[in-house]
A and B are shown apart, each in its own frame.
Chain A
Amino acid sequence: MNNRQARIFAWGSTIAAAVLFLGLTLDSHRQFPELTNADTITPQVTHGKDVWHKYNCINCHTLFGEGAYYAPDLTKITQHRGEAYLQAYMRDPSAFYDEQTHRRLMPQQNLSEEEITDLIQFLDWVANVDNQDWPPRPILVTGGFTAVAGSGGAGQAAEVQSGSTSVGVRPVDADDDIRALGENVFRTAVPGCVACHSLTPGADGAGPSLAGVATRAELLVGEANYSGQASDIEGYLRESILEPSAHLSTGGMYSANGVSFMPDTYGNSLSEEQIEQLVAFLATLK
Chain B
Amino acid sequence: MRYKSQSVAYWYFAVAMVLFGLQLVFGLLSATKYLGPDPLLYILPFDVTKVIHTNLLIVWVLTGFMGATYWLIPDESRTELHSVKLAYIQLILWTLMGVTAIIGYLFRYGTGNKLLEQPLPHKLVIVVCMLIFIYNIGMTIRKSGRFTTTEGVLLLGIVSSAVLFVPALLHYENYTVSIFYRWWTIHLWVEGVWMMIMGAFLAYLLIRLSGADREVMEKWLYVIVGLVFLAGILGTAHHYYWVGVPYYWLPIGGFFSALEPLAIVGMAMYAYGAMRRAGLSHPNVLALHWTLGSTIFTLFGAGLLGLAHTWPSINKWTHGTLITAMHGHAAFYGAYAMITLAMISYALPSLTHGRPEKGSSIGYWSFWLQLGGMFGMTISFATAGIGQVYLERIMGMGYLDAQLKIQIHFVMLIICGSIFATGVGLFIFDFFRYRPRFEVTEPEVRDNEVAVGRVV
Contacts and interface: CB of A to CB of B under 8 A. Distances in A.
B248 A131 contact: no
B233 to A, nearest CB: 4
Contacts of B47: 56-57, 59-60, 68, 70
Contact of A56 (B112, B173, B220, B391): B112
B153 to A, nearest CB: 9
Contacts of B231: 17
Q: Which of A3, A68, A148 has the most CB of B within 10 A?
A: A68
B217 to A, nearest CB: 11
Which of A3, A57, A100, A125 has the most chain B CB within a 10 Å cutoff?
A: A3
A278 to B, nearest CB: 19
B245 interface: yes
B114 interface: yes
A59 B51 contact: yes
Contacts of B243: 64-66, 131
Given A13-B229, A136-B317, A53 B111 contact: yes
Interface in B366-413: 391-401, 403-404, 407
Interface centre among A125, A131, A149 (most CB of B within 10 A): A131
Nearest to B402: A145
Contacts of B244: 32, 35-36, 64, 129-131
Contacts of A31: 245-246
Q: Find the residue from B219, B325, B392, B398 having the highest chain A CB count within 10 A.
A: B398
Contact of A60 (B50, B173, B397): B50
Given A103-B37, A132-B242, A66 B320 contact: yes
Given A1-B219, A13-B227, A142 B180 contact: no
A102 B215 CA distance: 60
A265 interface: no
A82 B250 CA distance: 31
Contacts of A73: 320, 399
Nearest to A205: B398
A175 B229 CA distance: 57
A122 B178 CA distance: 14
A69 B395 contact: no
Interface in A23-49: 24-25, 27-29, 31-32, 35-36, 38, 41, 46, 49
Interface residues of B, number: 78
B223 A69 contact: no
A32 B176 contact: yes
Given A66-B114, A104-B36, A145-B395, A17 B229 contact: yes
A90 interface: no
A70 to B, nearest CB: 5
B319 to A, nearest CB: 4
Interface in B289-325: 316-317, 319-322, 324-325
A167 B324 CA distance: 24
B241 interface: yes
Interface in A254-269: none
B150 to A, nearest CB: 13
A32 B177 contact: yes
Contact of A139 (B51, B322, B399): B399
A163 interface: no
Contacts of A36: 174-177, 244
Nearest to B215: A3
Contacts of A55: 108, 112
A103 B404 contact: yes
Given A9-B223, A49-B175, A145 B404 contact: no
A182 interface: no
A140 B397 contact: yes
Contact of B222 (A7, A72, A97, A205): A7
Interface stretch (B38-46, B83-91, B201-209, B270-278): B38-46
Interface of B: 30, 33-38, 41-42, 45-48, 50-51, 108, 110-114, 117, 173-177, 179-180, 215, 218-220, 222-223, 225-227, 229-234, 236, 241-250, 252, 316-317, 319-322, 324-325, 391-401, 403-404, 407
20 contacts: A6-B222, A9-B226, A10-B225, A14-B230, A17-B234, A28-B180, A31-B245, A36-B177, A49-B175, A55-B108, A64-B242, A64-B244, A70-B47, A72-B400, A104-B400, A132-B241, A132-B242, A140-B397, A142-B399, A205-B398
> Which 7 pairs of residues, A with B, have the shortest CB-CB distance?
A65-B320, A53-B112, A103-B36, A134-B242, A142-B398, A59-B47, A10-B226
